[in-house]
Amino acid sequence: MLSILVCHSYFLRFDHKQLERAKPYPPLATLQIAAQLRQAGHRVALFDAMLAEGTHEYDRLLRAVEPQLVLFYEDNFNFLSKMCLGKMRRACCEMIATAQRYGARVIAAGSDATDAPEPYLRAGADTVLTGEGIDALLQLVPRLDSTPDLEADRLLGGVTGVAALVGGKMTVSRAAGPARASQRSALAAWDLVDIDSYRSVWRKAHGYFSLNMAASKGCSFRCAWCAKPIWGNQYLQRGAADVATEMIHLKQTYAPDHVWFADDIFGFRVDWVTDFAQAIQAAGGPIPFTIQTRADLMSERMAQALRDAGCQEAWIGAESGSQRVLDAMNKGTTVTEILTARARLQAVGIRVGFFIQLGYLGEDLADIIATRQLVEAARPDDVGVSVSYPLPGTKFYDLVRERMRGKTHWQESDDLDMMFQGTYNSEFYRAIRNILHAQVTLEQPAAERDSGEYLRARRVLDFRWSELLSRELQYRSPVSAAAAAG
Q: Are residues 326 and 445 in the same domain?
A: yes
Last residue of a domain, one of 126, 157, 172: 172
Indicate the residue among 172, 198, 217 that finishes a domain: 172
Mean of pLDDT over the chain: 92
Q: What pLDDT is stored for residue 276 in this prediction?
A: 98
- Report the CATH number at residue 256: 3.80.30.20
Percent of all residues in the chain with a pLDDT value above 70, rounded to a whole number: 95
For residue 485, the model assigns a pLDDT of 57
Our CA angle for 170, 171, 177, nearest 5°, is 130
Residue 486 reports pLDDT greater than 60: no
d(CA 104, CA 98): 9
Q: What is the mean pLDDT of residues 419-436?
A: 94
* Residues 159 and 275 reside in one and the same domain: no
CATH number at residue 83: 3.40.50.280
Do 305 and 402 share a structural domain? yes
User: What pairing do the DSSP bridges indicate for beta strands 235-237 and 216-218?
Assistant: antiparallel
Residue 167 has pLDDT above 90, yes or no: no
**pLDDT of amino acid 432:** 97
pLDDT in tens, 170-206: 999 876 566 654 444 568 999 999 999 999 999 999 9
- Whether 354 and 443 map to the same domain: the answer is yes
154 plus 271 within the same structural domain = no
Residue 421 has pLDDT above 60, yes or no: yes
pLDDT digits (tens, 9 = 90+) for 404-416: 877 777 776 777 7
pLDDT of the residue at 344:
98
Domain region containing 420? 208-485
